[in-house]
């Protein structure tokens, strides 16, 4: 297969926020280096991340299963598929479409060794670099331009923002990635600028409590901002404080100075911030020497050991910000 001869290419990545943002260099480089028509299939609830992307000719979405679109996708006559999800559903879809496909090495065995036995034999490569390693035989190379986030509509944040502020990310898919209340209580007094706290419905109470206890310093819009409204807030922020979550990747795409607070996961999995070369390097906060970390490549609803030391042992002072 030669992608550079392709007229129409389908890219697969079904979820989630950060993972989809991490596919954007592939979308851009494949579109620009092949001139092909790029189609992208993802879950409907993540579609707004890609609606404004000028490198995507057609965005396909589904509600429950990618197979919902199988008949219409067959009619497109794709020359190639790039599978950036690589799970049972994506492989089944590729099989049913019967088109040549490229995927990448997920390194699941090496991740298992790191999580279960503490043996880190993962290559020092970001996931995005692994994508391009898989595409190299097809002549597709990374252009050095980082991640993309495009805004389909100008839009505006749901509240009036301070002139200068820091964005604080409250939410995470898994609780063991989330910065706990006690650590936010340490962080907020260390900062010279007000902090706009972002999160979903699950973080409303946390945001309200922090705002009540730090009047004038913390402003919570958790639960009232959409995904792209939150991205707009991040775009306007001076700095972003975040756990390992999708908003971290949006902040990286927007070139923001980052403080990343790591819980049960580890940047060695290749999922840390992916930045353009000239952007200020992120500051990473993590507890070193914990034998139980990483306990998962994703996360849990609660700490498997019950102590949550990977987050609760973290100490913050004005000096680190």
pTM above 0.85? yes
Please write the tens of the pLDDT for every residue from 49-101: 999 999 999 999 999 999 999 999 999 999 999 999 999 999 999 999 999 99
Map out the domains of the chain with their CATH numbers: 3-138 (3.40.50.2000), 166-320 (3.40.50.2000)
Percent of the chain beyond pLDDT 70?
Answer: 99
What crossing angle do the helices spanning 246-253 and 227-236 adopt, rounded to 10°?
50
Element (H, E) at 131: helix 127-135
Task: Give the pLDDT confidence score for residue 158 in this predicted structure.
Answer: 81
Please write the tens of the pLDDT for every residue from 146-197: 999 999 877 778 888 999 999 999 999 999 999 999 999 999 999 999 999 9
What does the mean pLDDT of the chain come to? 95
Q: Quote the CA–CA distance of 126 and 52 in Å, as a whole number.
A: 25
Closest-CA residue to 61 (of 7, 8, 128, 15):
15
How buried is 288 (Cβ within 10 angstroms: 0-12 exposed, 13-18 middle, 19+ buried)?
A: exposed
Task: Give the pLDDT confidence score for residue 274 in this predicted structure.
Answer: 96
Task: Give the pLDDT confidence score for residue 2 in this predicted structure.
Answer: 76
Report the DSSP pairing between strands 8-12 and 37-43.
parallel
Element (H, E) at 197: strand 195-198
DSSP state of 81: E
Answer yes or no: is pLDDT of 107 > 90: yes
Task: Give the pLDDT confidence score for residue 1 in this predicted structure.
Answer: 66
């Amino acid at each position: 297969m030669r992608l550079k001869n392709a007229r129409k290419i389908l890219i697969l990545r079904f979820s989630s926020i950060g993972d989809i943002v991490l596919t954007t260099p592939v979308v851009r480089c494949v579109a620009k280096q092949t001139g092909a028509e790029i189609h992208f299939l993802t879950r409907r609830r993540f579609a707004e991340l890609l609606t404004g992307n000028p490198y995507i000719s057609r965005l396909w979405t589904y509600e429950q299963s990618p197979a919902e679109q199988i008949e219409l996708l067959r009619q497109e006559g794709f020359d190639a598929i790039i599978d950036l999800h690589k799970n049972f559903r994506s492989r089944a879809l590729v099989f049913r479409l019967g088109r040549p496909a490229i995927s990448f090495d997920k390194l699941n065995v090496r991740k298992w060794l790191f999580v279960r036995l503490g043996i880190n034999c993962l290559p020092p490569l970001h996931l995005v670099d692994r994508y391009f390693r898989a595409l190299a035989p097809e002549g597709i190379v990374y252009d050095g331009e980082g991640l993309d986030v495009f805004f389909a509509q100008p839009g505006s944040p749901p509240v009036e923002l301070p002139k200068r502020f820091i964005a604080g990310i409250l939410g995470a898919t898994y609780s063991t990635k989330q910065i706990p209340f006690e650590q936010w209580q340490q962080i907020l007094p260390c900062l010279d600028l007000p902090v706009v706290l972002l999160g979903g419905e699950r973080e409303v109470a946390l945001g309200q409590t922090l705002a009540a206890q730090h009047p004038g310093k913390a402003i919570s819009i958790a639960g009232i901002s959409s995904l792209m409204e939150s991205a707009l807030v991040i775009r306007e922020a001076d700095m972003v404080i975040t756990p390992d979550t999708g908003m971290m990747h949006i902040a990286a795409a927007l070139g923001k100075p980052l403080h990343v607070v790591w819980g049960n996961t580890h940047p060695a999995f290749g999922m840390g911030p992916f930045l353009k070369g000239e952007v200020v390097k992120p500051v990473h906060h993590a507890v070193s020497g914990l034998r139980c970390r990483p306990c998962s490549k994703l996360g849990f609803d609660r700490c498997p050991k019950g102590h949550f030391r990977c987050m609760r042992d973290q100490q913050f002072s004005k000096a680190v910000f």
